[in-house]
Amino acid sequence: MPKKENDNDILVAHIIKGIEEVKGQNIEILDLRELENTVCDYFIICDGTSNTQVNAIVNSIQKTVSKSLQEKAWHIEGTENAEWVLMDYVHIVVHVFQKHIREFYDIEGLWGDAKTVKIETTY
């Protein structure tokens, strides 16, 4: 059964909450729904200051989503070196970077046609 748009919105909100709980930085949501040949509906991108913080962000997202929605990521990769961790929630893919790795790969630039929402954080 396909996910309803509202389900995606709820999952996005819980992912953002998980990022904010451990002070993930530069949070952006890329809406890919109007682009052709995309693998998902949304990218959520953020960065941390170290591999320790990147893993803390990943763990916080997992805990928040699992506790609130009883959902688990379909696939997670990159936790070994924690420079770029990808979390695949099927319709939503989360990219958690160390800042210098995020700048190098520039996913936002590659998906420049996507609608982008920056999340303002207060920390």
In terms of Cβ atoms closer than 10 Å to its own Cβ (0-12, 13-18, 19+), residue 102 is: buried
Please count the other Cβ atoms lying within 10 Å of the Cβ belonging to residue 100: 9
User: Residue 84: pLDDT above 60?
Assistant: yes
Q: What is the pTM of this model?
A: 0.94
Q: How confident is the model at residue 6 (pLDDT cuts 50, 70, 90)?
A: confident
The residue ranking higher by pLDDT, 58 or 6, is: 58
- The structural domains of the chain, ordered by start, are 24-117 (3.30.460.10)
